[in-house]
Amino acid sequence: MKRSIFTCLPVFLATMVLLSERPSVFGAESSRRAAKPPALDERPAEEGTWGYRPEEGSTVEVTPPAFSWRPMREIASWQLECARGDRFEEAQVVYRRKCIEWNVHCPPQTFPPGRYVWRYRGVDRSGRTTAWSRPRRFLIAQGAAELPLPPREELLARVPKTHPRLFLRPEDLPRLRELARGPFLESFRQLQSRCDRLLKNPPPTAEPPKYPPGTQRLSEAWREIWWGNRMYTIAALDSAATLAFTWRLGGNEQYGQLARRILMECARWDPKGATGFRYNDEAGMPYNYYFSRTYTFVYDLLSDEERRQCRQVMKVRGDEMYSVLCPRHFWQPYNSHANRAWHFLGEVGIAFLGEVEGADDWLWFAMNVFAAVYPVWSDDDGGWHEGASY
């Protein structure tokens, strides 16, 4: 007799029930693998990476030292311990931190001069921990410069809730206005002269062009647009920032209104177009920081709708920069453009903190770069010497 699938279904279901009640060799093996904690990747740092810091046996001239180690994709957070002496002993632990989000950490407190040893471990997304790293010894020199990084919430709370926020705070304005009328009058008049010229001849604000189809990268035609768009962007938004700053100090309404107009016309540019950070970072970087400066200086002249438009634009642009830089820059920081971009992203974060989702992350990232991975060239002396390869 021919049986249909419906005739066989009860037998099939009964068989599945019986099989499900038997222990599975494959299931048990899978469970054992799932329960196994991840292995810590402690391979030596490759050329072109920031490496483990403080290095074994090193002397540091800054207190506290910033700690750095190899990142791992499967790790969700890190734990760090630092103890006095040449050997790691629990009784000598002077600093312990959990829930570190990146593979760098700068403590919020200074350490006295002397010998220390540090170690770290990772925690995966299931809460399983790796083994502790091998201990690394270092010495904090006498007279080390003090540069702790405040905790995230404390640091962010220092940013004014109102504007301006970049280069000056709201409470600085009365003093700066007084200086502009007194000891710095000549410098202020130079600013006014530039603004008067801008009133007569404002910069163009039409969106600059993208590369035509078929344009060969690094060709003269490519360079003309690549660098030309940078200079065009600066001409527009640096002018706006200067007008807005001078309005803040002197109160000339014409300066402020022209700054506002330029800002809002540039806000109409496609944030992922010709001046997008990924498309042309030489145009994207000055757009982002000059736009942020103009916004915070001219904030009081903007309507609620204009502020919303500015925030919408910088949400896209800020996220784009952040996705390029973080967390890659902590382990692979040897790039000239990235070393300019992170502090521009920090400016964007300050200007739009509390107004754009993610701005707190942008600023916190920038401050961790400053505390832990800067300057990348010339060791403790610092400098900007990328070398012949550049």
Contacts of 52 (CB under 8 A, 6+ apart): 45, 68, 69, 70, 136
Per-residue pLDDT at 15: 34
pLDDT at 209: 97
Instruction: Decide the pairing of beta strands 136-146 and 58-63.
Output: parallel
- In the chain, where the domains are located: 58-149, 153-381
Q: How far apart are CA 209 and CA 81, in angstroms?
A: 52
Q: How far apart (Å, rounded) are the C-alpha atoms in residues 231 and 214?
A: 23
| Residue 209 near residue 262, CB atoms below 8 Å | no
Number of residues that make up the chain: 390
Distance CA 36, CA 211 (A): 51
Single out the residue of 301, 280, 257 nearest to residue 207, CA to CA.
280
pTM: 0.89
Which two structure tokens, joined as six digits, stand for 355? 């107004």
pLDDT at 24: 45
Query: Residue 104: how many CB atoms within 10 A of its CB?
Result: 23
Q: What is the pLDDT of residue 377?
A: 85
Residues 115, 208: Cα–Cα separation, whole Å: 57
Question: What pLDDT score does 262 carry?
Answer: 99
Residue 250 in contact with residue 179, Cβ under 8 Å? no
For 58-149, which CATH superfamily applies? Immunoglobulins (2.60.40.10)
Which amino acid, 152?
R
Gap between the terminal Cα atoms of the chain? 81
Query: What DSSP string describes 95-152?
Result: EEEEEE-SSEE--SS---SEEEEEEEEEEETTS-B-PPPPPEEEEEEEEEEE-----H
**Pairing relation of β-strands 67-68 and 58-63?**
unpaired
What residues have CB less than 8 Å from 49, skipping those under 6 apart? Answer: 70, 331, 332
The string over 268-286, giving b where at least 16 C-beta atoms fall within 10 Å of a residue's C-beta and e elsewhere, is ebebeebbbbebbbbbbbb
Q: Yes or no: say if 173 and 184 are a contact pair by the CB < 8 Å rule.
A: no
Q: What is the pLDDT along the chain (390 residues), one digit of tens a residue?
A: 434 433 333 333 333 333 344 444 444 444 445 568 899 999 999 999 999 999 999 999 999 999 999 999 999 999 999 999 999 999 999 999 999 999 999 999 999 999 999 999 999 999 999 999 999 999 999 999 999 999 999 999 999 999 999 999 999 999 999 999 999 999 999 999 999 999 999 999 999 999 999 999 999 999 999 999 999 999 999 999 999 999 999 999 999 999 999 999 999 999 999 999 999 999 999 999 999 999 999 999 999 999 999 999 999 999 999 999 999 999 999 999 999 999 999 999 999 999 999 999 999 999 999 999 998 888 777 776 676 666
How many other CB atoms are found less than 10 A from the CB of residue 380?
A: 10
Residue type, 349: G
Architecture of domain 153-381: Alpha/alpha barrel (1.50)
